[in-house]
Amino acid sequence: MQTVKIGNVEIEKTAMLAPMASVADKAYRTICKEYGAAFVVSEMVSVKGLYYSDNKTDELCHVSDFERPMAIQLFGDDPEYFKLAVEKINKYTPCIIDINMGCPVPKVAGNGSGAALMKSPKLAGKIIAATVSAAKCPVTVKIRSGWDFDNINAVEMAKIAEENGAAAVAVHARTKTQLYSGKADWEIIQRVKNTVNITVIGNGDINSPEDAKRMYDETGCDLVMIGRATYGKPWIFSQVKEYLENGTYSPDPTAEERMKILLHHAELIVESKGERKGMAEARKHAAWYMKGMKNAASFRNRCGEIDSMESLKKLIEEALSE
């Protein structure tokens, strides 16, 4: 299997897990790693929250040995806070620090962070430079194709990232205004790859192993990143790896196998967050794992009632009996 380097970090050239707020927590990253994710990224961590030692923010920064190689992703809009936050984050010894310049949600982009930085290239450059100056590991940047279709500036942003010391740039080939709808324009990934000399990661509309290979072939990117297609389907990473190596891949697990994976995933969540909080988190995952099963709509609706491992096991038994 080929590898790609981000700074001094060597990563299998298969597929990595996208950073996803309220989804890609420790349990999610762990199960994706178990199925072959080449690289994982933490949920977004606020630089101000980290600087002011918010307990929840502090928890987000812990990196387990099993998760490595792993990046901690930061968001904010002030270069000085990035520098101060990174000085604190170094103690967690992340493999990579990633800067979020692509999140489109109002509570992030609406406050000048995330994708809003696509509209402020000079500020983005200062943030990257400040982060690189304080980091003891490589720094990467996640961007979108642009703010909207009239302002496609991913190439400019990637050049700014490179000029200010970033080791890689990940490109979600949608605009901020597209959010997660419409079609990703992979041509922008190719244009970025043809312009910069740093590692380029492609993201957007990878829903199958075939899509992953096609992105590699069409864009020339160094690594592909998968997000929503992993919902209830962490085994997509092993399928991508098989397909890139052999041109074929194993079928999706049976319903019974999927429910075993769901139970394991729920156990990981409870181990990390406790049963009460963990089972509330597990509800959405349970619904994703049950997608496509017989009478799935009914059982997915009932996932919202799960409040313990026992209630989850009972629901799974009923679903499989169908």
CA distance 322 to 317: 9
pTM value is 0.95
Indicate whether 37 pLDDT > 80. yes
pLDDT tens digits, residue range 199-252?
A: 999 999 999 999 999 999 999 999 999 999 999 999 999 999 999 999 999 999
- Token pair belonging to 92: 């967690």
Q: Which of 103, 137, 221, 303 is catalytic?
A: 103
Query: Is 3-246's fold the same as 255-321's?
Result: no
CATH classification code of 255-321: 1.10.1200.80
Domain segments of the chain: what residues?
3-246, 255-321
**Chain centre to alpha carbon of residue 9:** 17
Q: Which residues make Cβ contacts (< 8 Å) with residue 44, sequence separation at least 6? A: 19, 21, 73, 74, 75, 100, 103, 108
Query: Does 32 participate in catalysis according to the annotation?
Result: no
Is residue 193 over pLDDT 70?
yes
Q: Which CATH architecture has domain 3-246?
A: Alpha-Beta Barrel (3.20)
pLDDT band (50, 70, 90) for residue 54: low
CA–CA dist 288, 209 (Å, integer): 19
- Residues ≥6 apart with Cβ < 8 Å to 46: 54, 57, 74, 75, 76
CB atoms within 10 A of CB 45: 25
Query: Which phi and psi (to 5°) does residue 149 adopt?
Result: -70, -20
